């Protein structure tokens, strides 16, 4: 998210999204985690990483950096798709506003649809996308502890605490935690969105799509050439016979 604030991160994001080279991006995630471990006994790396190769790469880099494999715990969060889509709608609406856009303007940079974006339209499009691209969605890591957070309430914390073997203080009720965390999350997003993140990401996505379409056209042309060559060879064989 800080790619518009740190030039090196923009280069990493471009290599990943445009060129498919995710190594620098995930190596940096591991480096930052190791940096955090210098001043803290416990470090949480939270990231929407969908492929096991990428997750294993981070773990490998952590171990190479001195972390003990026994001290690395992988938690994979699961959530009801409709609950997730509804939450994403409200987050996207807030981030669009922080970027100086409406949610309709923001979504049209990434999706194709008619009219204004509404909550129900957003949810339907998310569910349709997931259904059509099920094979490309988040892989289950064999070493991960699966934690369901569909409740979007105190059960979210209860399930994570149970997975980590933690006991939460009764002096920290759910409401007070939310009251502290949400403003921090929104302030962080405000800095990132005002930096032009959404427009930069939309540009990367458009360039990647154009590149993919170009490759598809090239492959189609190659196929057509092969068909013509086969026709010529067949014609030559018939002529010889």
**DSSP letters spanning 21-40:** --HHHHHHHHHHHHHHHTT-
Q: Are 148 and 78 in contact (CB under 8 A)?
A: yes
Overall pTM > 0.85? no
Q: Which pLDDT belongs to residue 80?
A: 95
Q: Which pLDDT belongs to residue 219?
A: 62
Q: Which pLDDT belongs to residue 181?
A: 93
Q: How far, in Å, are 121, 180, 194 from residue 186 at the CA level?
A: 24, 11, 12
Between CA 231 and CA 228 the distance in angstroms is 5
148 phi, psi to nearest 5 deg: -85, 130
Both structure tokens of 121? 């339209």
Q: How many helices (H) and strands (E) does the chain have?
A: 9, 2
Q: Which pLDDT belongs to residue 203?
A: 85
Q: Divide the 241 residues of the chain into consecutive groups of 10 and give the mean pLDDT of each group.
A: 84 89 96 95 92 96 96 94 96 93 92 94 95 87 95 91 87 89 93 88 82 66 54 38 38
Choose among 236, 165, 210, 152: nearest CA to 17. Answer: 210
């Amino acid at each position: 998210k800080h790619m518009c604030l740190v030039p090196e991160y923009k280069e990493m994001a471009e290599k990943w999204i445009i060129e498919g080279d995710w190594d620098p991006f995930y190596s940096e995630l591991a480096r930052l985690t190791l940096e955090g471990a210098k001043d803290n006994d416990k470090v949480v790396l939270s990231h929407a990483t969908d492929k096991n190769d990428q997750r294993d790469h981070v773990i490998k880099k952590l171990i190479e950096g001195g972390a003990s494999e026994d001290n690395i715990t992988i938690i994979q969060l699961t959530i009801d798709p409709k609950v997730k889509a509804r939450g994403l709608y409200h987050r996207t609406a807030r981030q669009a506003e922080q970027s100086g856009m409406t949610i309709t303007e923001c979504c049209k940079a990434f999706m194709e649809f008619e009219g204004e974006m509404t909550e129900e339209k957003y949810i339907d499009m998310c569910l349709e996308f997931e259904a059509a691209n099920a094979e490309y969605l988040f892989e289950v890591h064999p070493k991960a502890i699966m934690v369901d957070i569909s409740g979007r309430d105190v059960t979210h914390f209860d399930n994570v605490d149970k997975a980590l073997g933690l006991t939460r203080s009764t002096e920290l009720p759910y409401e007070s935690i939310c009251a502290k965390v949400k403003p921090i999350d929104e302030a962080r997003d405000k800095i990132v969105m005002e930096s032009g993140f959404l427009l930069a990401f939309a540009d990367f996505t458009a360039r990647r799509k154009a590149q993919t379409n170009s490759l598809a056209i090239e492959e189609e042309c190659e196929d057509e050439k092969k068909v013509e060559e086969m026709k010529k060879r067949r014609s030559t064989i018939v002529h010889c016979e």
